[in-house]
Every structure is written in structure tokens, then in C-alpha cells.
Amino acid sequence: MSSSEEIIRAFGSRFGLDLELDENSACNFEVDDVFVTIVAMDEIEQIVLMGDIGAPPEFEHEKLFRLMLEANYLYGSTRGSTIALNESNDHVVLTKYLPLKLQSEDSLYSEVETLISVCEIWRQIMKDVSLSPAPADGEEKTRASEVLGNFMSV
């Protein structure tokens, strides 16, 4: 059993989850309606966390994607993760790479907890963006830093 697999299993055991890696070295679970995937990438000594934020609204893509790109800049509004669009299901996904040598059961727990919190925030942002009116001509566009305030500043 690899170091990453040991850490992932210990993390799962802490919560009564039997996290077995599949043929892709991945396992999945759901917490607070957030679908989380953990991938052991032993070949590059990384553990990858992915949280499914959900499908973006059918409209306001430009506004939402601009906010997401701004949030990705220097990881300021993602707590060290990256926001992307999963082409296989068109869902927005939050991804974070963790160096294996810096991980333990406790640090993985902290990272997963942060990932889930950030996913929940971005779900709310997607909902809010879909409900907010478009800016009037000449009105400044909303920036990610304005939407998130100082909550997610690194």
C-alpha cells in the first residue's frame, strides 16, 4: 500500500468511510451535498482533491466565468485551489494538488474541509449571479474580490 493510500484510508476511517482507491487510484464520497473525489497520484507524489460545484446557470456565463478567472488569479478567492469546467459533465469543479510529503490524516482533513467550504461558497455565488441583474451600460462589472470580500483572501 502506498503512502498516499494509507493517508486516504486513515482519513476515511476517521469518519467511518471505507475509502478504497479504484483502478484510477481515486475514491469518492459526498459531504454536505458536495461530491468529493480524491486521487492518489503517486507518480508525481501528489494527492489531488476535486469538489464538484455543480452546473453553471444557463445564462450569465460571461459574468460568472469572469469571476472565476479572477478568483483563480493567485488563488486569492479559492484558498489555493483552481476552478475549472469539467468537459465530461459541464460542471464547475474546484481542484487542489497537495504534495504527498506534506500530508497526514489531519492535514488531509483540513484540506478537504476547506475544499468543501469553498465549493459551498461558489455554489452560492453561481446562484446569486444567475439571479442578479446585468450591469447597466457604463456600470462597472463586479469583481470576484467584491463578491467574496475579505473572506477568502490569502
Q: pLDDT per residue over 41-90, tens digit each? A: 999 999 999 999 999 988 888 888 999 999 999 988 899 999 999 999 99
Q: Sign (positive/negative) of CA torsion 85, 98, 27, 41?
A: positive
The structure's pTM equals 0.84
CA–CA distances in Å: residue 23 to residues 9, 45, 75, 105 = 16, 17, 31, 22
Cβ pair 127, 55 in contact under 8 A: no
Element containing residue 26 per DSSP (H, E) = strand 26-31
Indicate the Cα dihedral angle 112, 84, 122, 144, nearest 10°. 120
Residues 6 or more apart from 85 whose CB is under 8 A from it? 56, 91, 92, 93
In order of start, what are the domains of the chain with their CATH numbers? 3-147 (3.30.1460.10)
